[in-house]
Structure 1
Amino acid sequence: MYDAMLAETVKITGAGGDEVEAYVARPLNAGPHGGVVVIHHMPGYDEAHKQITRKFASRGYLAICPNLYYREAPGADPGDASAAARALGGVPDDRLVGDVGGAADYLRSLTTSNGKVGVIGYCSGGRQSFLAACRLQLDAAVDCYGAFVVGKPPEGMPFQIEPIVHLTKDLSCPLLGLFGQDDSTPSPEETAEFEVELKQHGKTYEFHTFEGAGHGFFDVDRKSHRPKAAYEGWKKVFDFYGRHLAS
């Protein structure tokens, strides 16, 4: 099997017609391929999420990770860009939706696309993945321990965001949720409340909560990494996308 891929930085059209930097990885065979928009975590558009983007390409997906902090700090170190965005209260929800929509349109425009696009996000990106799936027409969404879908940020946190569980009725696609039993943002009680809403509105979803794992268990560069939970989580992600994004 021909397994070459191309990975590069491109510019896409994001919210408000703004030019936004993004990292794209794609197989070089004929396809057709499903697409995945990778939403980076709060610490920023970093090497870890570029690696995740390449991981999807290695499994036969067109993948793109938009730099959500590009407007605040183009060309900056991910940590500095993240600090600049946090100082302004985080990424506004409407802007996030526009940027993810632009990234999805970019994937659909590729000649090897099968027209299907999913989204995945980690930490703040998990919430944003659900948000995008409620505001855009997508084919699959993955929420990896997204905080504040249910419940507001505590006092003192530099985020101007509100809970969005009320948007569940508008969810456009199947949802996969991957959570840690030891997490507090979101807590198991909050994910249970989220699940009640999904059931109430008859949405297609599956939630998995991993014992011995807390927030950030996918992150190989942090102490929070839990190899067993991450391994099982990746299996569930690829099974889920295989069912909903494959040609």
Structure 2
Amino acid sequence: MTDRLPETENWVRMSGVSRRAALGGGAAALGYALAAQPVRADAIVTPTDGLDAGMLTFKAANGFTMNAYRAKPKGKANAPVVLVVQEIFGLHEWIKDITRRFAAAGYYAIAPDLYQREGDPTTAPDIQTLFKTIVSKVPDAQVMADLDAAAAFAGKDGGNAKRLGVTGFCWGGRITWLYAAHNPGLRAGVAWYGRLVGQPTDLQPKHPIDIAAQLNAPVLGLYGDLDKGIPIADVEKMQAALKAANSSSKIIRFAEADHGFLADYRPSFHDASARIAWAETLGWFGTHL
């Protein structure tokens, strides 16, 4: 356990006028997934000042060359590593911004393109097409191996992979719980509004409720009570499963928040809940990494 890193937001808003002018070229031109539209005019943009940030590649399983967005503080060696797991829309501009926010807080953050083998999710015109053509075809086992490879790469790229955390959003929130049960070297996870229960499939055989007693590291779950896709009853089931397992993980619910409440580029963004949840996230990683 180490001292907490500063619990600051590290969020910078562009003015409404300049942001609207930038959006004149369309959301896709700015790197937001097509299926994620509409994009808010006041979406947060975190600068790269003091950071080493950008796209790179690393070798994943079977020699596959995987794309990733990495951000880390300039001049800081052995920073704790945070794996950033994309939301359902893939590795688009918002996930890159989140990665920079973690780097601005002192972490080595890396977001691998976990849909890369199946296609480019940012070009799917709507969420139904995205799910059918890409998301439903991504095996959980493949994702676990890709995250392992990203962590190994980070450890060779100046990060301290022995102080490893993982966080994910929506689709990535579910993956965060699963990865906490997969990797015995993980120190902590933060799962943002990830699905907790569901029917098993060949590619997705288990859900977080099934592995609540098998977590290798404490996970902080962040959920909105207004989320229609993840009802309160599911969250309560997961809380009960964690309690039964005597787990050090915990879930925080936000009464006024919907699904995607941290996603400041979307209409679902809820500023008050997002601010509290972000501070809780930095506190969680500051305590456990």
Name the TM tier (shorter chain). Answer: 0.7 to 0.9
Instruction: Confirm or deny: 8 A CA contact 1:11 1:21 kept in the other structure.
Output: yes
TM-score if structure 1 supplies the norm length? 0.88
1:214 aligns with 2:262: no
Unaligned runs of 5+ in 1: 154-158
Of the candidates 133, 138, 144, which is equivalent to residue 91 of structure 1? 138
What count of residue pairs does the alignment treat as equivalent?
Answer: 236
Q: Which has the higher contact order (CA 8 A, sep 6+)?
A: 2
- 2:247 corresponding residue in structure 1: 203
Deviation at 1:200, TM superposition (A): 1.4
User: Given the alignment of the two structures, is residue 142 of structure 1 paired with residue 190 of structure 2, yes or no?
Assistant: yes
**Using the alignment, how far apart are the partners of 1:32 and 1:136 within structure 2?**
20
Query: Could you list the per-position Cα deviations for residues 113-139 of structure 1 after superposition, in whole angstroms to 9, with x for gaps in the alignment?
Result: 262110001101100011111111211
Match of 2:231 in 1: 187
Is 1:111 aligned to 2:182, yes or no?
no
Cα RMSD between the aligned structures? 2.3
| Correspondences of 1:23-34 after superposition (within 5 Å) | 23-34=69-80
Q: CA deviation at 1:112?
A: 4.5
Equivalent pair of 2:115/2:121 in contact (CA under 8 Å)? no
Contact map agreement 2:89 2:121 (CA 8 A) in 1: no
1:174·1:203 contact (CA, 8 Å) conserved in 2?
A: yes
Q: Which amino acid counterpart does residue 214 of structure 2 have in structure 1?
A: D
- Classify 1:127/1:53 alpha carbon distance in 2 versus 1 (closer, same or farther; 3 Å): same
Q: Deviations over 1:24-68 (max 9, x none)?
A: 101112343111000001111100000000110000000000001
User: What residue number does 2:42 align with?
Assistant: none
Equivalent residue of 1:23, what SS?
strand
| Distance change (3 Å), C-alpha of 1:210 and 1:113 | same
Q: Secondary structure at the match of 1:52?
A: helix
Q: Which amino acid aligns with 2:235?
A: T
Distance in 1 of aligned mates of 2:123 and 2:237 = 33
Q: Which segments of 5 or more consecutive residues in structure 2 lack a partner in the other structure?
A: 1-48
TM-score (norm 2): 0.76
Distance in 2 (alpha carbons) for counterparts of 1:77 and 1:178: 25
Aligned pairs for 1:27-106 (under 5 A) are 27-73=73-119, 76=120, 78-80=122-124, 83=129, 86-88=132-134, 89-106=136-153
